[in-house]
Structure 1
Amino acid sequence: MFALMLDEFQSQSDVVEVGSFLEVVGDGYGLSKTSVWRCVRSVTNILLCHATDYIRMPSARHEVMEAHQSFHAIAGIPQIIGLVDGTLIPIANPSALNQAFICRKGFAVINVQVVVDHRGMFADVVAKWPGDSGYPLRTYLLNPVTNPTTRAEENYNIAHIHTRNLVERSIGHWKMRFRCLHKSAGGLRLKPERCCAVAVVTAILHNIAVSGGAALPEEEEEEEEEEEEEGVHNPPQLRDPLHAAGVQTRQQIIHSVFV
C-alpha cells in the first residue's frame, strides 16, 4: 500500500541537512539540533512501522457501504470508495537533486499521491515520485469529461468537482497542520527518500488528529493551497482498451444519473 524510499534513513549525516525546523524546536527546549534530530528520527521510524494501522482503504463490507453512501450524498456519484489526488511537497536540497525533481513551476518537489476517504482521512499514500503526474481514465478511476458536449456531461463534471473538493480540503488541512510540507516553509531540507518518510508519518498524524477531532490552527484555517492543482491535470489519453473501458463506465454513470 505504501511506497517509500527509506534506504538510508538511519544515516547520522542527515543532521546537517534538516534545516531550521529542528533549530527552532531545539532552541525552545534547550536542546541541540542533533538531539532533536535523533528524537525525530526515532519517532518517525516507530510510526512508519504502524502505518497500515492508521492509513488503510475500507475493506469490511460495512466500511465500503459507509463510503459509498457518504460520497453519494455529496453530489450523487455512485460507488465511490475514495478520492485520488496528487500534491507536491517542496524539497530544498539541491546537492541531492536532479532535473527529474523539478516540477513545471520550476522548483524541486516530491509528488505524493493520496487517497482520501469520506471522513477526510488518508486511506492510501504513495510518496516516492519526482516531478508532475496525471491520472488516466479507467473503470475504477473516473476523471472529468475533458470537453463536455451535453448537459448530462456538464452535470457530471459539476458533481465531480463538488465531490473531489473533499480531497483538496484534506490536503490543505494536512499542510496546515504540518507547515514543513508547505512551500512557504522553503522546502524540506532532507534527501528525497527522507522527505518521503516525513510525508507518510505526517499523514499518519493527520489521521490521528482527524479521528480525535483536533481543530486546525485558527489563523490559517482559510488559507488555500496552490500546489494541489499539479497532481490533477489529465495526461494525454491513449486510445487503448483500458481507456475505452473507462469511457464506457463513465458514460454509463452519466446516462443513468445525470441526464
Structure 2
Amino acid sequence: MPCSDHDILQQLISKPRNVAEDFSRRAGFPSVVGALDGTYIPISGPSNYRDSYICRKGYPAMHLQAVCDSDLKFLDVFSAYPGSVHDARVFKNSPLYQALQELPPKFHLLGDSAYPLTTFLLTPFRDNDHLSTEQKCYNSAHSSTRVDIERCFGLLKGKFRKLKFLDMHKVEEIPSMIIVCCALHNFIIMHEKDYEPDTEVEIEQRGENLLHDFDNDEGESVSGQCKRQEIMHLLA
C-alpha cells in the first residue's frame, strides 16, 4: 500500500531534536536544537480579504515558519497564516510553540529579534550602540549559528523556484504545496549523497526591520534573560 502524504511528511519532517553538537562546532554556541525563522512565499493573492495577505514588503504572501538543523534540513515547518501576520504571532499560535514547552531546560532554539526571548528561544541582545564586548561576542556567535535557517530558505527557493511566486487559484491549497516543497527539500538533502547546495544562496534577513512594528506583549522573560546572560559568559 502506498504511503499517504501524511505518512511521507512524518518521515521527512520531524520535531526539533538534539543537534546541539553539530551547531556548536561553528561558533561554540551551546545546546542549540534548531534555528528558527519565518519567510514570505509570494502569491497572486485572493480577491477577498486581499489586504490581510499583504506582507510588510508590500505584496500578497503566505507565511512559512520553519526550524532547521545545521545540515540545512527542516525539523519543523508550519504554514497557515497570511503575510500580514507578524512572525512572533505565528510562532505563538503554531504547534511548535506548544511542543517547546516540554523541551528540556538545557536546550533552546535560536531566533532573531522579531521573537520574544524565553528559555526555549534565545534571541540576540538588541543593539542600542551601547553593547558590551561580551554582548557583542554573544550576538556574533548567535548570528553565525542562526544563519543556517536563512541559508535553508534560500536553498529551498532556489531549488523550487515556484515558491518565488506561487500562482494558485485555491488559496486554501497553498500551505499544502509549501509543506510538500519543504519535504522534497529534505528528501534531496538526505538521499542525494553528492548533492551540494548552490555556491551562492540568497540569504533573507528580516528580523531587524521587524523590530519597528512588533508589539511584544510578553517582553523578555526574566528566566530567558538569565539563561542568555549565562551563555554570554560562557562564550566570552
Contact 1:180 1:187 in 2 (8 A): yes
Instruction: Go from structure 1 to structure 2 and tell me whether the alpha carbon gap of 1:118 and 1:225 turns closer, same or farther (over 3 Å shift).
Output: closer
Deviation at 1:76, TM superposition (A): 1.0
Give 1:51's aligned amino acid. Answer: L
| Cross-structure match for 1:47 | 5
| Cross-structure match for 1:254 | 232
Matched, 1:125 2:77: yes
| Cross-structure match for 1:162 | 144
Instruction: Go from structure 1 to structure 2 and tell me whether the alpha carbon gap of 1:105 and 1:120 turns closer, same or farther (over 3 Å shift).
Output: same
Contact 1:138 1:246 in 2 (8 A): yes
User: Higher Cα Rg: structure 1 or 2?
Assistant: 1
Aligned positions of 1:100-179 closer than 5 A: 100-131=52-83, 132-133=86-87, 134-147=114-127, 149-179=131-161
Contact 1:114 1:123 in 2 (8 A): yes
Aligned-partner Cα distance in 1 for 2:171–2:209: 22
Contact 2:119 2:227 in 1 (8 A): yes
RMSD: 2.6
Deviations 1:99-152 (A, max 9, x none): 221111110111110000121100000101112323111100011100362101
Deviation at 1:98, TM superposition (A): 2.7
| Cross-structure match for 2:167 | 188
Instruction: Go from structure 1 to structure 2 and tell me whether the alpha carbon gap of 1:47 and 1:68 turns closer, same or farther (over 3 Å shift).
Output: same
Instruction: Go from structure 1 to structure 2 and tell me whether the alpha carbon gap of 1:225 and 1:95 turns closer, same or farther (over 3 Å shift).
Output: farther
Deviation at 1:239, TM superposition (A): 5.7
Aligned positions of 1:1-259 closer than 5 A: 46-59=4-17, 64=18, 67-131=19-83, 132-133=86-87, 134-147=114-127, 149-182=131-164, 186-213=165-192, 215=195, 221-226=199-204, 229=206, 233-234=210-211, 235-238=214-217, 243-255=221-233, 257-259=234-236
Instruction: Go from structure 1 to structure 2 and tell me whether the alpha carbon gap of 1:244 and 1:236 turns closer, same or farther (over 3 Å shift).
Output: farther
Contact 1:176 1:216 in 2 (8 A): no
Give 2:120's aligned amino acid. Answer: Y
SS in 2 for 1:70: helix
Instruction: Go from structure 1 to structure 2 and tell me whether the alpha carbon gap of 1:217 and 1:83 turns closer, same or farther (over 3 Å shift).
Output: closer
Contact 1:173 1:216 in 2 (8 A): no
Percent identity of paired positions between Structure 1 and Structure 2: 31
Deviation at 1:190, TM superposition (A): 3.5
Contact 1:115 1:124 in 2 (8 A): yes
SS in 2 for 1:114: strand
Residue-pair matches, total:
202
Contact 1:153 1:258 in 2 (8 A): no
SS in 2 for 1:88: strand
| Runs of at least 5 residues in structure 2 that lack an aligned partner in the other structure | 88-113
The two structures have a TM-score, normalised by structure 2, of 0.76
Q: Could you tell which deviates more after superposition, 231-240 or 195-204?
A: 231-240
Contact 2:26 2:145 in 1 (8 A): yes
Instruction: Go from structure 1 to structure 2 and tell me whether the alpha carbon gap of 1:253 and 1:99 turns closer, same or farther (over 3 Å shift).
Output: same
Aligned-partner Cα distance in 1 for 2:169–2:69: 29
The two structures have a TM-score, normalised by structure 1, of 0.70
Deviation at 1:93, TM superposition (A): 3.1
Aligned-partner Cα distance in 2 for 1:246–1:56: 25
Give 2:210's aligned amino acid. Answer: H
Aligned-partner Cα distance in 2 for 1:75–1:190: 44
Contact 2:20 2:30 in 1 (8 A): yes
Q: Could you tell which deviates more after superposition, 150-159 or 45-54?
A: 45-54
Deviation at 1:212, TM superposition (A): 1.7
